[in-house]
Amino acid sequence: MHRPLLNRNLAGLGTTIFAEMSELAAATGSINLGQGFPDTDGPAEIARAAADAVLSGRGNQYPPGAGIPDLRRAIADHQRRFYDLRVDPADEVLVTTGATEAIAAALLALIEPGDEVIAFEPYYDSYAACITMAGGVRVPITLREPDFRPDIDAMAAAITERTRLILLNSPHNPTGTVFTADELAAIADLARRHDLVVVSDEVYEHMVFDGKHVPIATLPGMRERTLTISSAAKTFSFTGWKIGWATGTPEMVAAVRTVKQFLTYVSGGPFQYAVAAALALPDAYYSSIASDLVVKRDLMCDGLARAGFEVFRPAGTYFITTSVRGLTGAADGLEFCRRLPHQAGVVAIPMQVFYDDAEAGRFGVRFAFCKRAEVLAQAVDRLCRMGAGRGQVTA
């Protein structure tokens, strides 16, 4: 065959860094602080609800395309309960196969070839791929160490007459940045003034360590132009279930549903019943997510600093970013991460693969801390033994 098999627009995407690093962890028997998934499953009663649904024949045949009514109602209740955001479960909620599908369907639905999409790099890896698949052009706004704050002036300057959409992610993966109220207001102002759509990926909404998560859809004039995305993966620690959702105006949700029906048609039936039950868990469950994680964050930040990393303490998510500049002769983060499992028995994720601006991310390395405290302590121990030098933590 003379033509490459992979669509030339997708050339170079290859295997995701998460898959590469998880395979390396398995092959070397390393502690996997790379791909973000917890090493403890979510609440047992929620797992039981999924098993009960399978065994009692609920959701084993194609559920409704928009999601089972119980789950759509539970998502609407969650948005009202935490954010006083009113969405109609009848036509303003769509259940998807993880947030991943919601992002893909949103971009395929909402942009035309040639449309520009503003996104904050380092991006979660599916953003760049999905913008490309939709024929869009990504326009990065670079978050830079040590504080990874969005440059609103740069963003305003990047808007052209071809700009269609802002792809927002707060709390932000991989940097752990939580956008402030002022930053969100400035972004909302730009969206309103230039008549842009906002797709807001809020999968880490319950992992904010100071203050509360603010959905951009709650800002004045934003409800009608924002598609809000979230997922059961992070909030309930069931990343394998792949139940996500999108909420927005009936027109926006209908557009995204049109694409969704040809991507997956419907999403895992029995898990939808379980996630509906999970969303109704009491406040104590939700507040324990951040209060449990913040302890691990501090344990890991201090440990990484002791091991010699320059550490940027995150305000949200379950990721810590570090710089390995000058550490044990690391040429860059990718080389460092490919070597780390062999040298220390720990796996992390290089951040340069999430940047278009290769220099900005060159020495960035991300560690996931959604693991049991003893596992984190063991990882720190291994990293300290590797003897990387002296480190420091930056707030």
The interface partner of residue 244, options being ligand PMP, ligand GLN, none and the CB cut-off 5 to 8 Å by kind, is ligand PMP
Q: In what order do the strands lie in the sheet with 392-394?
A: 349-350, 364-368, 319-323, 310-312, 392-394
The interface partner of residue 314, options being ligand PMP, ligand GLN, none and the CB cut-off 5 to 8 Å by kind, is none
When asked if residue 231 is in the footprint of ligand PMP (CB under 6 A), the reply is yes
DSSP string of 115-163?
A: -EEEEEESPPHHHHHHHHHTT-EEEEEE--TTT----HHHHHHH--TTE
The interface partner of residue 180, options being ligand PMP, ligand GLN, none and the CB cut-off 5 to 8 Å by kind, is none
Dist. CA 389–CA 88, nearest whole Å: 55
Find out whether 209 and 293 touch, Cβ atoms under 8 Å.
yes
DSSP string of 342-370?
A: HHHSEE-EESGGG-SSTTTTTTEEEEE--
| Cβ at position 98, least distance to ligand PMP in Å | 2
| Cβ at position 204, least distance to ligand PMP in Å | 7
- Binding flags for ligand PMP, 2-31, as an x/- string (CB under 6 A): ------------------------------
| Cβ at position 370, least distance to ligand PMP in Å | 11
The one-character DSSP state at 208 is: B
When asked if residue 59 is in the footprint of ligand PMP (CB under 6 A), the reply is no
56: amino acid identity, one letter: S
The interface partner of residue 231, options being ligand GLN, ligand PMP, none and the CB cut-off 5 to 8 Å by kind, is ligand PMP
Beta pairing class for 116-121 and 137-142: parallel
Of 164 and 242, which has the nearer Cβ to ligand PMP? 242
Beta pairing class for 346-347 and 244-247: unpaired
Q: Which stretch binds ligand PMP (CB under 6 A): 61-69, 93-101, 218-226, 284-292?
A: 93-101
Dist. CA 316–CA 321, nearest whole Å: 12
Residues 234-263 that bind ligand PMP (CB under 6 A): 239, 242, 244
Q: Which residue is nearest to ligand PMP, using beta carbons?
A: 98
CA distances from 292 to 114, 175, 285, 289, 297 (A): 44, 19, 10, 6, 9
Residues 147-186 that bind ligand PMP (CB under 6 A): 169, 173
CA proximity to 272, closest of 119, 5, 13, 54: 54
Residues 15-44 that bind ligand GLN (CB under 6 A): 16, 18, 35-36
- The residue within the footprint of ligand PMP, chosen from 107, 117, 188, 203 (CB under 6 A), is 203
- Binding flags for ligand PMP, 297-336, as an x/- string (CB under 6 A): ----------------------------------------
By the 10 Å C-beta count (0-12 exposed, 13-18 middle, 19+ buried), 43 is classed as: middle
Of 38 and 63, which has the nearer Cβ to ligand PMP? 38
| Cβ at position 348, least distance to ligand PMP in Å | 15
* Count of residues touching ligand GLN (by CB under 6 A): 5
- The residue within the footprint of ligand PMP, chosen from 76, 233, 348, 388 (CB under 6 A), is 233
Dist. CA 46–CA 53, nearest whole Å: 11
CA trace torsion 337, 7, 359, 33 (10° rounding):
-30
When asked if residue 173 is in the footprint of ligand GLN (CB under 6 A), the reply is yes
The interface partner of residue 99, options being ligand GLN, ligand PMP, none and the CB cut-off 5 to 8 Å by kind, is ligand PMP
CA distances from 88 to 231, 253, 272 (A): 18, 11, 18
Directed axis angle between helix 250-263 and helix 98-110, to 10°? Answer: 110
| Cβ at position 368, least distance to ligand GLN in Å | 6
CA proximity to 346, closest of 318, 375, 325, 326: 375
Binding site for ligand GLN (CB under 6 A): 16, 18, 35-36, 173
Q: Which residues contact ligand PMP (rule: CB under 6 A)? A: 98-100, 124, 169, 173, 201, 203, 231, 233, 239, 242, 244
